């Protein structure tokens, strides 16, 4: 657990850098270290001593210094390699090993690291600062440049604004992107002038105020399957080896969060093998893919089952979770994840999650619905439109899994989806199913400055190129559209808020490289998703996955249920009142009132829109207005 912060430019009182790192106390409550050699000022917060991985290291003889945050599982091997080459290491900490790798390999040192990391190296001899973020972007890094030219960076956005030359202001283009995607897609943040360093990228800075950002790792490089693998059994064997190794590398002092989906069950199975059954499993039931409660899955795997109860009343922590995230997300599952990490914090340093497994395997509900629809003949589109007026809405709700009633707004969105299938590419098609607000709905809602930025992010995006199949292109949409990075960042920050590392085995870059180029039929086939994971569990733990009975009626989503209960109901009444909406001067009150009324009919799309507007207003109040009373800290 750790976080870095710093600024490159004119000297400030020492209290400024300490305020920046202090804003991230939850990332490292035990210690902090600093390197201050004008014009470079940087620091790191850490949990425990240098042996935990994060920290700072200064080599005065070679004029090198580093602040390092994260966990790299292969540093022991790299340390041994350096020592065999005759390099003496003073303490052998993670920070020192990475600094020595830079000394030997230069900026190519990042290609030797395996894990989740972000670091900054000051090379005084070359008069530069080198900043890098891990391959898949598990560890976040944000930056901004002041009007005077000072370059400011930190693991969390809130730390940036402790620097006196930066001011807090909303970027309405980012707000518009959020209302399309339900997240801040990057690289531009929802704060004006703030950017996120993309995954697999590094920054080179020098005092001449030149900032160069370049990639060192690209998804597109792994778009095609490894030609060495000839059969499905070859792919299954390679997956088992890479997956179990990724889990084993991340297993020290860790438990697993079981959420009822296949990917978390697979992670739990591999962790049970790596730990000999000694690891705890923190059990939530957010999904019903395994055919059995998470507690039962944990017990079958021989793990120490720890139940985590979540109810609507636990959303009283939502403002504080938003503070931890820096930017809002339309994903209520961050609240039960936060609860699980609070329980885990008393027992382990890290928890393994199944996050991003479904995305890479094209098995998110919207991905599946889109792929199923694209397989239909052209005549299906006109037939489908006529059926919407005949077939009961409950039937479509059961098939499409919207988690709520399909009312007029959802039906109109589905009509738009059918039109997108006829005329648009994968980016627009996916958005037609998943967007919080589409262009028509924004036109009704936006007033003032919002009308000038409508659909700016959406219109700038292009369909991914160079992908061999429609399914692999749809996986790439998750990446190019920012959905993937947002899911990763939310998990990481939620864990850090509890001072717990959320470790993501599916984002071990060696495993991810293999999965990105996976043949389609090992991702999903008609009627069977997450094929490779199911095959793995069927072989290693026969009978763990049970048949899932179809519900008699469409299940209400967790969000729909929570909106009608305290405290979310009261938050909506406060933040989305007529007075509040009119004061913000961004949205038409009549349109907001229509959305609020629609959510009371249990229509899932309206529920998501209400939650998005609520999270946005909370974000404005906490970060932009600085309104007191929402946070206990």
Tokens 């109040």 correspond to 621
Task: Report which secondary-structure segment, H or E, holds 371.
Answer: helix 365-374
Tell me the pLDDT tens digit for each residue of 581-592: 999 999 999 999
pLDDT of residue 89: 87
Tell me what pLDDT residue 398 has.
Answer: 46
User: What average pLDDT score do residues 615-629 get?
Assistant: 96
Q: Which residues pair with 304 in a beta bridge?
A: 280
Q: Which CATH class is domain 2-217?
A: alpha beta
pLDDT value at position 404? 57
Instruction: Name the least confident of 298-307, 391-400, 491-500.
Output: 391-400
Angle (CA) 175 597 430, round 5°? 45
> What class, spelled out in words, does domain 221-361+482-540 have in CATH?
alpha beta
Q: What is the pLDDT of residue 213?
A: 97
DSSP per-residue letters across 45-94: EESSSGGGS-EEEEETTTTEEEEEEEEETTHHHHHHHHHHTT---SS--H
Q: What is the mean pLDDT of residues 328-333?
A: 94
The rounded mean pLDDT for the chain is: 91
Rounded to 5, what percent of the chain is helix, strand, coil? 50, 15, 35
- Tell me, what's the pLDDT at 486? 83
Tokens of 429: 């098609």
Rg (CA), the chain: 24
**417 or 100: which leads in pLDDT:** 100
- pLDDT tens profile 221-232: 999 999 999 999
**Taking 70 as the threshold, does the pLDDT of residue 415 lie above it?**
yes
CA distance 169 to 174: 11
For the chain, percent of residues with pLDDT exceeding 90: 75
Q: Please give the pLDDT value at position 44.
A: 96
Q: Please state the length of the chain.
A: 633
Residue-wise pLDDT for 174-226, tens only, equals 999 999 999 999 899 999 999 999 999 999 999 886 899 999 999 999 999 99
The model's pLDDT over 491-550, given as tens digits with 9 standing for 90+, comes to 999 999 999 999 999 999 999 999 999 999 999 998 899 999 999 999 999 999 988 776
> Residue 407 has what pLDDT?
76
Banded model confidence at residue 90, pLDDT cuts 50, 70, 90: confident
The answer to whether 44 and 56 are in contact (CB under 8 A) is yes
Determine the average pLDDT of the residues in 372-401. 63
The closest alpha carbon to 77, from 99, 55, 94, belongs to 94
User: Is residue 410 predicted with pLDDT exceeding 90?
Assistant: no
Indicate if the pLDDT at residue 172 is higher than 60: yes
Per-residue pLDDT for 160 more than 90?
yes
Arithmetic mean of pLDDT, 61-86: 91
Give the pLDDT confidence of 425-436 residue by residue, as tens digits: 999 999 998 999
Which range, 17-31, 463-477, 611-625, has the best average confidence (pLDDT)? 611-625
Which residues touch 378 (CB under 8 Å, ≥6 apart)? Answer: none
User: Which residues on neighbouring strands pair with residue 447, listed in sequence order?
Assistant: none
pLDDT category of residue 476 using cuts at 50, 70 and 90? very high
Q: Looking at residue 396, what is its pLDDT? A: 53
Give ranges for CATH 3.60.20.10 in the chain. 2-217
Q: What is the pLDDT of residue 208?
A: 81
Whole-model pTM: value is 0.95
Pairing, β 142-145 against β 151-154: antiparallel
Confidence of residue 401 (pLDDT cuts 50, 70, 90): very low
pLDDT of the residue at 50: 45
Cβ–Cβ under 8 Å, residues 632 and 593? no
| 231-255 mean pLDDT | 97
Return the closest-CA partner of residue 190 out of 431, 437, 457, 448.
Answer: 457
555 vs 551: CA distance, rounded Å = 7
């Amino acid at each position: 657990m750790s976080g870095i912060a710093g600024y490159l430019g004119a000297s400030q009182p020492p209290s400024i850098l300490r305020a920046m790192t202090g804003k991230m106390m939850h990332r490292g409550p035990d210690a902090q270290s600093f390197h201050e050699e004008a014009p470079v000022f940087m620091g790191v917060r850490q949990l425990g001593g240098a042996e935990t991985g994060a920290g700072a290291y200064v080599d005065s003889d070679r004029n090198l210094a580093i602040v390092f945050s994260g966990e790299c599982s292969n540093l022991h091997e790299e340390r041994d390699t350096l020592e065999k080459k005759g390099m003496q290491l003073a303490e052998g900490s993670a920070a020192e090993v990475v600094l020595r790798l830079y000394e030997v390999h230069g900026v190519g040192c990042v290609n030797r690291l395996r894990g989740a990391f972000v670091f900054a190296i000051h090379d005084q001899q070359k008069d530069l600062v080198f900043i890098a973020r891990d391959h898949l972007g598990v560890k976040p890094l944000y930056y901004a440049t002041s009007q005077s030219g000072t370059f400011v960076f930190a693991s969390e956005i809130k730390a940036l604004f402790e620097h006196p030359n930066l001011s807090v202001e909303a970027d309405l283009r980012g707000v518009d992107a959020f209302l399309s995607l339900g997240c801040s897609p990057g690289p531009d943040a929802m704060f004006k002038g703030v950017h996120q360093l993309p995954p697999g990228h590094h920054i080179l800075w020098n005092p001449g105020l030149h900032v160069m950002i370049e990639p060192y790792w690209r998804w597109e490089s792994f778009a095609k399957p490894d030609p060495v693998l000839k059969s499905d059994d070859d792919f299954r064997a390679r997956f088992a080896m890479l997956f179990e190794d990724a889990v084993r590398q991340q297993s020290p002092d860790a438990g697993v969060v079981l959420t009822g989906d296949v990917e978390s069950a697979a992670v739990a199975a591999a962790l049970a093998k790596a730990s000999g059954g000694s690891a705890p499993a923190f059990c939530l039931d957010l999904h019903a893919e395994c055919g059995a409660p998470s507690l039962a899955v944990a017990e079958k795997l021989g793990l120490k089952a720890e139940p985590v109860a979540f109810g609507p009343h636990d959303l009283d922590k939502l403002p504080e979770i938003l503070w931890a995230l820096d930017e809002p997300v339309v994903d209520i599952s961050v609240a039960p994840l936060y609860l699980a990490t609070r329980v885990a914090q008393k027992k382990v340093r890290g928890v393994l999650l199944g996050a991003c497994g479904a995305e890479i395997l094209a098995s998110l509900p919207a991905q599946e619905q889109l792929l199923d629809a694209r397989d239909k003949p052209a005549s299906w589109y006109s037939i489908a439109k006529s059926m919407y007026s005949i077939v009961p809405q409950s039937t479509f709700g059961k098939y499409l899994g919207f988690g709520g009633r399909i009312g007029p707004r959802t039906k109109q969105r589905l009509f738009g989806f059918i039109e997108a299938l006829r005329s648009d590419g994968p980016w627009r098609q996916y958005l037609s199913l998943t967007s919080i607000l589409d262009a028509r709905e924004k036109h009704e809602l936006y007033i003032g400055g919002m009308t000038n930025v409508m659909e700016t992010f959406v219109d700038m995006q292009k369909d991914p190129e160079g992908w061999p199949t429609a399914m692999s292109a749809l996986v790439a949409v998750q990446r190019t559209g920012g959905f993937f990075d947002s899911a990763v960042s939310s998990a990481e920050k939620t864990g850090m808020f509890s001072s717990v590392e959320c470790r993501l085995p599916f984002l071990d870059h060696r495993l991810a490289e293999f999965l990105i180029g996976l043949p389609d039929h090992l991702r999903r086939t008609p009627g069977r998703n997450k094929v490779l994971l199911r095959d793995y569990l069927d072989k290693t733990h026969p009978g763990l996955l049970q048949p899932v009975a179809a519900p008699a009626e469409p299940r209400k989503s967790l969000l729909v249920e929570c909106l009608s209960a305290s405290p979310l109901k009261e938050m909506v009444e406060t933040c989305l009142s007529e007075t509040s909406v009119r004061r913000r001067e961004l949205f038409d009150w009549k349109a907001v009132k229509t959305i609020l009324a629609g959510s009371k009919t249990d229509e899932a799309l309206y529920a998501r829109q209400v939650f998005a507007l609520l999270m946005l207003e909370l974000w404005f109040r906490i970060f932009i207005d600085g309104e007191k009373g929402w946070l206990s800290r």
